[in-house]
Structure 1
């Protein structure tokens, strides 16, 4: 019997090849999209789960309260981690991680390692990064010891065993000994490193006294707690600890610190502080919902198409009932057929996933999966979903077609009833509610991204090349040499450029009341050319100038936010205000207009600038837009002549600044692709319902044509009902999507307003797409020969 059912299934599929293709392909596309999103979500949630002690590892972070603001730092002071381990038995181990951009050399091989991290020797005791060579308890203890990743070891030593050999590190060329080799750190780790340097290199050699510094917040810190330790209880002991260790200094500096513990597994996705690698739990939630929506649309689409096809088989079922078939047998046949179709769609899903996975990895900006079969749990889950869809889709036609009287069907009077019609309408409304929501979401995301790109930044970032000289003594010579190139319009020195990390300095600033106000202010070290080269607008006072000798020791330029912080009502009032900052004292000589030196996701903060050429490491080069490749080649030649030991690396400022939005751009592109898929699958569902409705009304259409109805009139008759459903879906989708996108936009300090036209445009687009889909079936019915429609009457 089962063999017979299987034959009937294949015959029906082959008999209606076009319909079967739409049915299977629609479901397969939906499940492929759902599977890809499932892989993405699974990858995002897998960050830092490779560590067996992950449930006991916490990142130590700090809130710093000053009289002016509260700073939410993603790291504590240098002294915190080692003192926590000494003071609290609940802390089994502690480690600090200091990110480095470190020059590494071996003979003629030299690289600027951007994934270099200085760590304490407890690193491999806390984290489960596998050492291929070396003792995890002893590596990285002595100063100038390094551990290389497998890839880095091959880069510098090829097939040789590097353990025990040496490399030259940093600009000074210190000799460092390789004490271990580790496996390449997986991509789903927020800690990324190809070179690990012993922290004792700094604390015992290069910068002695760091272990006792309570006001320097450079390295990140993690602790491993003992089994059974309650983090909240441990955290409650930190205020007394800080008071004992640093109470007097906090009172003196008016900077009061509070320490918190963030679970390791929450750092990547849930932390609101910097340095979390760019993960966003809200995006994970959104994509999870989108996956559910797409699978739901695919399921609805499959049910609609299956229902439309089932009407054609009413007479078949009637005959089978007449010859003795029982309801259970018929129901089993329909459910079985539906499951078989879903299993075919599942197989096609695996093929499509394998085909599109490389493109999806590129779109996501990371390798979320190496292959379809690398995630067996997800694959089994998808198999279960496909079987479930098959059962659900088969139940409705099974119940309807097995419940009617065979005499009625054989006389041609079969109808599924009002309840069936209502169900299909509800399903279509649900489909288009989701589709319109995705259209609105896509428009909002696109407009927000465009708004961020078009926003007036307050500075000129075009045709600017940035070089990092590492504050080498030859920097000034290189700058003077570059000024002589024909393609170079101007050069300037700075410790940072807009879009890059910058220092924050403990500052005492004279406010409107004449008092010195304590604040932690962002700080740029610059030269005299920096402000004019970037076209910062001067609102009051003057910029730095070589005509004033005291500018290099006693002058400061501030932005508007600093003026507001100090309580001045106008930029002019701030001119002459005194400051004390990092051992320098002087006066404010100028105020510049606020500019976005960070992403538009962050509000502009108070910023100070000081003339300090010896504290700069970057050369910003404004070049002519003509013959840029030749200009870059000329710059490289000068670099190699003056800094032969340094690898030549550069970037264009506009590209560098725009990198801040790549995460949002990837999110937008992924969202757009899945929205298009959802709309496409919805249209297939609408096509199914249109086909069903047309089939039910074919006699009515034939009579209308005979009495003179036009093709347009019939198309309008058939389309009107469905467009009403799309209109209802629009009314449901608009307020829901407005709320969801409003919450998403709250993550941006500078954002668009969701104007009414966005929703209207989404609604019109949905109506156009729906009309095109329905018209295909309606026109086909309107031009059909009415004689064929009436022959069975």
Structure 2
């Protein structure tokens, strides 16, 4: 019986090639895009969820400040993890991670390698996290401070295919490190991405000791927030109570830190959430999940609409089957199996296309997704997606087709119920409403990105080349003089930031007249030379710039927000203390946007410290940038011959702030285009069916003198009405969704009504072109031929 069902289903598909191709194309596109988006969602939500202890692993962060100066610091002071493990029974273990600022160049044999992604870690790092120690002792990965653990790719980079255990690499200060372990490369869906790990005790020996840090140690220094701290907690722990206990421990050691609180963030949520519970990337994941569902629903609607619309053409077939004994359940299974055959073809086509399209999708989305046949999680996504779409698409058409009354159908009196017709029209409305929402989303995101890129930032970031000076810092004046002779060099300055202000450096260690007890002013400190402010064309609001004289070490320049938040009236000449320097305010600069437009402008303080100038900034003419880079590299090699010359452009660094938004905008454009394409395929099929059903009417009207344009209008107007209703439904939904998305930006463009008007008009235009294509074809047929076909 099943064999006959499949044979009949195949014959029906072959017989109606036009409709079969349209339906299969729509389903293939929907499944292909839907599956890829869901694979992306699975990858995003799977970050660091693979650790066996993930359910009880938490990252510790600090909330610092008071009033308008509250900030979330992702790093903590070093002692808190150890003290928590010693004093709190609910803390079962801890580990700390710190970036390696001391070593970045290593020699093995006759090869010297410039090393990035190097960190100091506690030995417990390898037991708390499941990163797979391939070689070495997980319980004792660092036998001494001259030990190092490499990733598999780093080991290959240094030693090729030979066994790295026991081999030695030498740092730039001639310290010899023995390889004591090899760890598997960190997965791409992990917040961790290291290549080389040293014992944290080595970091402590270099940073602390006799005469250093006022006698403090790694386990007593609460002034240095430079560590990622992770805790392994009891499953029954109360996170609120734990945060209170951690704060009490902190205040016991540092009672003056009354503005400090502790937050816990599950390791498996680090990628998508912030420690205060707000979304980081989860909003984008939700958005793309909804888009995947919308595209699959649009593809389902195509199938349901074409199946129900063509039900009348199959009414006699169904009736004959019933008369010769076919039961309703048998007919139901027949039509479900027809859907299964069609879906099988579409699924095979989609699965064949996904490996070809994934590289393009990865480049746009910034991912490393792979089509791995052996990956069961991938097949769960694919199987779930296909099954859900199949169930949604097959049940209603099968029920409708199996419900005709035989006698009425054979007499030609069978008709779809009014509810079925209304339902089909409602599906068309929903289909185009979804499409218009996606089109509006592309316009809104594009407008916001253009707003960001065109907004006056308050400083000049164009054509600014930046690089670390390293050993050439002492020769800055000579290097500057040589480079200023280059025809493409406009100006040169120096600071210690790759960006105009470091986004990750803040301090509340300050004082000023009028500061209240317990008040904290979080401020971004920026060491700059005398040329920095005019170099970037930052406008002075009051006072004067640095002069370059030694007295500038006691002078500060604040931005307007810092003055306003500190409530300082007539700030020029007023006292301001930053860390241990008690100086005066000599200037105020106008506010400028140095961070993402998602955030309001925050307090900034410029100070003069030549000893902290690590980076050189060169403004070029743009067209001569290549020759300037070459000249800068020549100067670099004079003082740093063993290091590669690496540079960045400030506008590229700024654009990286909006990398997620740019990718979202690009993907929105693609998804909206696919949604419209699928919708138009369905509209094309429905128009063809309508023309086929009204063949006799078209012939009669043409014989009576109806024009081609009149025939086009006759066939198109009903569909255009449905599209217009879909637009009216979509506009308020699109406004609500995009208005919510825009709320994440402190500075945003207006959500103009013209965006939604243009989106609607574009949908109408696309629908009109689609309907007209088939309508023109039907209207141009010879009326005599139309009447013969109708007979």
TM-score (normalizing by structure 2): 0.93
- Residue-by-residue CA offset, 1:374-411 (whole Å, 9 max, x unaligned): 54344345335435544554444444444334454445
Structure 1 residues 188-197 or 218-227, which shifts more?
218-227
For 2:483 and 2:113, how far apart are their aligned partners in 1? 23
For 2:358 and 2:16, how far apart are their aligned partners in 1? 31
Query: Within 5 A, what are the aligned runs for 1:269-288?
Result: 269-271=272-274, 280-288=281-289
For 2:577 and 2:519, how far apart are their aligned partners in 1? 10
Moved over 6 A (4+): 512-517
Q: Residue 648 of structure 2 corresponds to which residue in structure 1?
A: 651
SS in 2 for 1:619: strand
For 1:400 and 1:65, how far apart are their aligned partners in 2? 65
Do the aligned partners of 1:714 and 1:782 also contact (CA within 8 Å) in 2?
yes
The alpha-carbon deviation at position 671 of structure 1 amounts to 2.1
The one of 138, 141, 150 equivalent to 2:140 is 138
For 1:201 and 1:481, how far apart are their aligned partners in 2? 40
The one of 220, 230, 243 equivalent to 1:212 is 220
Distance 1:725 1:228, change over 3 A: same
Matched, 1:732 2:729: yes
- Residue-by-residue CA offset, 1:660-683 (whole Å, 9 max, x unaligned): 111221122222211211111111
Q: Residue 469 of structure 1 corresponds to which residue in structure 2?
A: 469
SS in 1 for 2:76: coil
For 2:632 and 2:308, how far apart are their aligned partners in 1? 70
- Residue-by-residue CA offset, 1:312-353 (whole Å, 9 max, x unaligned): 333333444444444333332222111111111111111011
Gaps of 5+ in 1: none
Query: Within 5 A, what are the aligned runs for 1:13-412?
Result: 13-66=13-66, 69-100=69-100, 102-107=103-108, 109-140=111-142, 142-169=144-171, 172-208=173-209, 209-247=217-255, 249-250=256-257, 255-271=258-274, 280-367=281-368, 369-387=369-387, 389-390=389-390, 392-412=392-412
Q: Residue 685 of structure 1 corresponds to which residue in structure 2?
A: 682
Q: Residue 702 of structure 1 corresponds to which residue in structure 2?
A: 699
For 2:46 and 2:721, how far apart are their aligned partners in 1? 44
Q: Residue 542 of structure 2 corresponds to which residue in structure 1?
A: 540
The alpha-carbon deviation at position 702 of structure 1 amounts to 2.4
The alpha-carbon deviation at position 514 of structure 1 amounts to 11
For 1:227 and 1:331, how far apart are their aligned partners in 2? 51
Do the aligned partners of 1:495 and 1:502 also contact (CA within 8 Å) in 2?
no
SS in 2 for 1:491: strand
Distance 1:741 1:68, change over 3 A: closer
Q: Residue 642 of structure 1 corresponds to which residue in structure 2?
A: 639
Gaps of 5+ in 2: 210-216
For 1:789 and 1:389, how far apart are their aligned partners in 2? 38
Q: Residue 457 of structure 1 corresponds to which residue in structure 2?
A: 457
For 2:253 and 2:776, how far apart are their aligned partners in 1? 82
- Residue-by-residue CA offset, 1:419-449 (whole Å, 9 max, x unaligned): 2211110110111111111111111111111
For 1:649 and 1:632, how far apart are their aligned partners in 2? 10
Do the aligned partners of 1:495 and 1:616 also contact (CA within 8 Å) in 2?
yes
For 1:636 and 1:385, how far apart are their aligned partners in 2? 53
Q: How many positions carry a matched residue from both structures?
A: 779
For 1:788 and 1:178, how far apart are their aligned partners in 2? 86
Distance 1:509 1:231, change over 3 A: closer
Structure 1 residues 236-245 or 180-189, which shifts more?
236-245
Distance 1:787 1:372, change over 3 A: farther
Do the aligned partners of 2:22 and 2:682 also contact (CA within 8 Å) in 1?
no
The one of 502, 505, 512 equivalent to 1:503 is 505
The alpha-carbon deviation at position 602 of structure 1 amounts to 1.9
Structure 1 residues 739-748 or 690-699, which shifts more?
690-699
Do the aligned partners of 1:335 and 1:393 also contact (CA within 8 Å) in 2?
no
Distance 1:398 1:645, change over 3 A: closer
For 2:608 and 2:388, how far apart are their aligned partners in 1? 69
- Residue-by-residue CA offset, 1:458-483 (whole Å, 9 max, x unaligned): 11112211111247654525444434
Do the aligned partners of 2:528 and 2:606 also contact (CA within 8 Å) in 1?
yes
For 1:705 and 1:511, how far apart are their aligned partners in 2? 91
Q: Residue 559 of structure 1 corresponds to which residue in structure 2?
A: 559
Instruction: Please give the root-mean-square deviation of Cα atoms over the aligned residues, in Å.
Output: 2.5
Structure 1 residues 428-437 or 152-161, which shifts more?
152-161
The alpha-carbon deviation at position 536 of structure 1 amounts to 1.0
Distance 1:644 1:731, change over 3 A: same
The one of 711, 715, 726 equivalent to 1:714 is 711
Distance 1:660 1:137, change over 3 A: same
Do the aligned partners of 1:335 and 1:390 also contact (CA within 8 Å) in 2?
no
The alpha-carbon deviation at position 767 of structure 1 amounts to 0.7
